[in-house]
């Protein structure tokens, strides 16, 4: 066996796991589409007031895990000794922009464990008891407002815009 094989196998297993997790989240999001938040145009990332509120909320509720500069925790793709993935970046180097607004909203509101179910472990709690829907959207708007135009354009296409 070559030295590279276990690393490639771990990478493949991680990729399969991530796809399964976000596939399950996507199905749950479709199931929850009756929420008061519509699936298109969720994030008011061009609204200066929403972005300002979102930055304040991000700093208060998100930065302790995802960092002030949105770069996430080190080694965010590798599970820790307790089986948890570290907080991913929300900047362009992460995968946040790969997911539609509805999915990002649902993860933020309900938490990853609730969205995925089936015993999935995550430290990403839901903020439904701490933040209103508008506040969640504002925090997400702030995150999106920091992305470069090309990433925003790709994310808009994911949303069907």
Residues 85/76, Cβ–Cβ less than 8 Å: yes
**Average pLDDT for the chain:** 83
Q: Which two tokens stand for residue 141?
A: 């708007």
pLDDT single digits (tens) 11-54: 665 666 665 555 555 555 544 443 444 444 567 888 999 999 99
Q: Which two tokens stand for residue 17?
A: 């796991």
Averaged over 43-66, what is the pLDDT?
94
DSSP tag of 89: P
pTM for this predicted structure? 0.75
> Which sign does the torsion angle of CA 145, 30, 77, 126 carry?
positive
Residue numbers of the domain that contains 63? 4-158
pLDDT single digits (tens) 103-125: 999 999 999 988 888 888 899 99
Averaged over 139-144, what is the pLDDT?
96
Torsion of CA 23, 69, 77, 11, to 10 degrees: 90
Give the total number of structural domains in the chain: 1
Q: In CATH, what number is assigned to the domain containing residue 113?
A: 1.10.760.10
What is the rounded distance in angstroms from the CA atom of residue 53 to the CA atom of residue 150? 24
């Amino acid at each position: 066996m070559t030295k590279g094989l276990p690393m490639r196998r771990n990478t493949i297993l991680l990729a399969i796991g991530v796809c399964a997790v976000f596939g399950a989240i996507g199905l749950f999001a479709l199931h929850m589409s009756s929420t008061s938040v519509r699936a298109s145009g969720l994030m008011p990332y061009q609204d200066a007031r929403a972005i300002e509120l979102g930055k304040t909320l991000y700093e208060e509720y998100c930065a302790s895990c995802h960092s002030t500069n949105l770069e996430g925790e080190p080694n965010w793709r590798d599970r820790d000794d307790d089986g948890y993935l570290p907080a991913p970046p929300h900047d362009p180097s992460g995968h946040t922009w790969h997911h539609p607004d509805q999915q990002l909203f649902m993860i933020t509101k309900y938490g990853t464990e609730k969205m995925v179910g089936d015993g999935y472990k995550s430290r990403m709690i839901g903020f439904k008891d701490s933040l209103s829907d508008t506040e969640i959207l504002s925090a997400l708007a702030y995150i999106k407002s920091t992305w470069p135009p090309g990433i925003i354009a790709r994310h808009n296409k994911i949303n069907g815009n």
